[in-house]
Amino acid sequence: MTLLLEDVTLTYPDGEGRLTALDSVSLEVPAGRLTAVVGPSGSGKSSLLAVAATLVTPDRGRVVVAGTETGTLDAAGRAALRRERVGIVFQQPNLLGSLTAAEQLQVMAHLSGARPKAVRERALALLDAVGLADLAGRRPHQLSGGQRQRVNIARALMNEPSVLLVDEPTSALDHERGAEVVALLATLTRERGTATVLVTHDYTHLACVDGTVLVQDGRVTERTPAS
């Protein structure tokens, strides 16, 4: 299993006590599958992604990313695992204002020691894969919201991650653009074999996902297909 969460419980400090953000959550995502995590605001969706990304360590439970038991890793080991195996698309496309679309991707490979020409070629191929072949030289302010989100997704794929985690990519888009972004994620997942988790509160985009997990109050209350 490329991504596995088993009985994960996560609490945050909350005044005198603790707030339970995730309560015994389990999730399995094989390579090449797109799982949607849906649920109301505050239900724990972003917390689930943060745990899967090893950005947050749960109080209890197992998190396996690309075959690695993350519980045995120190902070440096988790950072290396994230860099090499995990692609993250945050809710806000945090693109750098002064860089072109291609450069946003190229900076991802900055530390990897790859040849600049190969990095540039990979960036252009990924922009092509997300439908932005002609816009590689544009800066963020010259792109629409949907195009920026595509750059964001292409950037997350730069290091060929095994696990792709995407938080509410459609929240700033109209319905049609949102549906296109979800369809693109489904295609990329199958082509590149990533285990992809898509967090959304929009239930209407789910025609092309492989499975859906409903989260309410930090608990998984429904799954399709059932397991």
- Site of interaction with ligand ADP (CB under 6 A): 12, 19, 21, 39, 41-47
Please identify, using beta-carbon distances, which residue of 6 and 90 lies nearer to Mg ion: 90
φ, ψ for residue 18, nearest 5 deg: -130, 145
CA-to-CA separations, 193 to 61, 154, 188, in angstroms, rounded: 26, 15, 8
Question: C-beta of 18: minimal distance to ligand ADP in Å?
Answer: 9
CA separation for the pair 1, 90 (Å, rounded): 23
Please identify, using beta-carbon distances, which residue of 8 and 108 lies nearer to ligand ADP: 8
When CB distances to Mg ion are compared, the closest residue is 46
Task: Characterize 119-151 residue by residue with b for buried, 16 or more Cβ atoms within 10 angstroms of its Cβ, and e for exposed.
Answer: bbebbbebbebbebeebbebebeebeebbbbbb
Question: C-beta of 46: minimal distance to Mg ion in Å?
Answer: 3
Query: Does 43 contact Mg ion by CB under 5 A?
Result: no
Interface positions, 53-112, toward Mg ion (CB under 5 A): none
Strands of the chain, DSSP E: 3-14, 17-29, 34-38, 60-65, 68-69, 86-89, 163-167, 195-200, 211-216, 219-224
Of these partners, Mg ion, ligand ADP, none, which one is at the site of residue 44 (CB under 5 to 8 Å by kind)?
ligand ADP
Question: C-beta of 55: minimal distance to ligand ADP in Å?
Answer: 10
Please identify, using beta-carbon distances, which residue of 186 and 199 lies nearer to ligand ADP: 199
CA separation for the pair 202, 175 (Å, rounded): 9
Please identify, using beta-carbon distances, which residue of 3 and 199 lies nearer to ligand ADP: 199
Please identify, using beta-carbon distances, which residue of 14 and 191 lies nearer to ligand ADP: 14
Please identify, using beta-carbon distances, which residue of 45 and 192 lies nearer to ligand ADP: 45
Question: C-beta of 132: minimal distance to ligand ADP in Å?
Answer: 28
| From 3-11, 39-47, 127-135, 208-216, span contacting Mg ion (CB under 5 A) | 39-47
Q: Are strands 211-216 and 34-38 parallel, antiparallel or unpaired?
A: parallel
Applying CB under 5 A, which of residues 43, 46, 106, 149 lies at the interface with Mg ion? Answer: 46
Q: What's at 193, amino acid-wise?
A: G
Neighbours of 32 (CB within 10 A): 15
Of these partners, ligand ADP, Mg ion, none, which one is at the site of residue 116 (CB under 5 to 8 Å by kind)?
none
Contact residues: Mg ion, CB under 5 A: 45-46
